[in-house]
Amino acid sequence: MNKIKTIIRKEWAEVFKNKMVIFTVAFLPLIMTALPLGIIFATGDAMAAETVTTEMPSEMTEAMCLDSLDSAACFQVFLVSQFMMMFMIIPVAIPVTMAAYSIVGEKTTRSLEPLLATPITTVELLVGKCLATVIPAVLATYAAFGLFALGSWLLVANKALLSALFDVRWLIAIFLVGPLLALMSVTFALMVSSRVNDPRVAEQVSMVMIVPVLAGFFGQIAGLFVLNKAIISWAAVVMVIIDAALVYMATKVFQREQILTRWK
C-alpha cells in the first residue's frame, strides 16, 4: 500500500508542477458546468410557451417531466439534461492525457528502468499510476457537479424543477458511472502507453475513449434514446464488467521485459 501511495504522490508532484495541466484539469469542468447553468439562466423566465412540451418526444416528457412541473420547467429540464452528459465527458477527458503519458513518459525520460528495478510489483505500479489520474478526474467531476448544484439552487426558485434536475439517474451517472468511466479511460490509456514508444501516439490513441461518451451525448440530442434510470443503471453494470476486463488486460499487457527491451 505504501508503494502505491508513493507512486500516486510522485505522479501528482510531477504532473501538477506543470501549470498547463492544472489549467486543463480546472478549465474543462468549469466550461461543462457553465453550459447547463447558462441554459437555466437563459431560459428561466423567458419560457412562457405552453406548447413546448408538445413538441418534445413523448418518451422524453415521460422520463423528464414530473407531474408537478409545468411545461416550461419541463422543457428546461429537457434542455439541461442534454448538457448533463457533459459531466460524463469530464472523467474521461481529464485523466486520459495524463494516463497516456504515464508509462511512455517514463520511457522517454529513461526513469522506467530504475523504477522497475525496485521491488514494486506490476499491480502496485499500475494501481498507483491509475489512481493518480482517476482521483483528480473524479474529484474534478464531483466539484463541477457541486458547482452546478450550487448554481442551480441560486438560479432556480421552483423546488420541483430543482428536484427534477437532480433526478436519481443523474446522481447514478455522476457518482457511479463517472468514476467507472474514468477508470475505463485510464486503464485503456495505460495499456496504450505501455505498448507505444511515442507519447503523442499514446495520447491520440487513448482519446478514442471519449467517442462512446460523445456518441451518448449526440445520440440523446438526436432523440435516438432517452437516458433514463434503467439505461444508466445498465450502463453502470456494463461499465463494471468492462473495467474489470480492462484492468485484467492492463496487467497482462504491461510486460516489463518487452517494455524495457523494445524501447531504444
**Could you count the other beta carbons within 10 Å of the beta carbon of residue 89?**
20
Residue 5 CA to residue 190 CA, distance in Å, equals 18
Of the ranges 77-85, 87-95, 210-218, 253-261, which one interacts with other proteins (CB under 8 A)?
253-261
Residue 117: CB minimum distance to other proteins, A: 5
Told to check if 3 binds other proteins by CB under 8 A, we report yes
Q: How many residues bind other proteins (CB under 8 A)?
A: 26
**Residue 112 touching other proteins (CB under 8 A):** yes
Query: Could you tell me the three cell numbers for 173?
Result: 451517472
Q: Decide if residue 59 touches other proteins (CB under 8 A).
A: no
Please identify which residue in 31, 42, 49, 117 interacts with other proteins, judged by CB under 8 A.
117
Which residue, 22 or 171, is less far from other proteins as judged by CB? 22
Q: Check the CA dihedral 110-113-114-116 and report its sign.
A: positive
Q: Which of residues 12-51 bind other proteins (CB under 8 A)?
A: 13-14, 17-18
Alpha-carbon dihedral angle through residues 251, 130, 187, 116, given to the nearest 10 degrees: -40
Range in contact with other proteins (rule: CB under 8 A) among 115-123, 142-150, 174-182, 241-249: 115-123
Which are the contacts of 83, defined by CB distance < 8 A and separation ≥ 6? 32, 35, 36, 39
> What does residue 19 show for φ and ψ, rounded to 5 degrees?
-65, -30
Choose between 58 and 258: whose C-beta lies nearer to other proteins.
Answer: 258
Q: Which listed residue (54, 58, 68, 111) binds other proteins by CB under 8 A?
A: 111
Toward other proteins, which CB reaches closer, 58 or 121? 121
Q: Which residues between 120 and 159 bind other proteins (CB under 8 A)? A: 120-121
Q: From the CB of 12, what's the least distance to other proteins, in Å? A: 11
Cell, residue 198 = 511515442
Determine contact, residues 239/173, Cβ cutoff 8 Å.
no
- Please tell me the distance from the alpha carbon of residue 27 to that of residue 31, in angstroms, as a whole number: 6
SS3 261: helix
Applying CB under 8 A, which residues contact other proteins? 2-3, 6, 9-10, 13-14, 17-18, 109-121, 256-257, 260-261
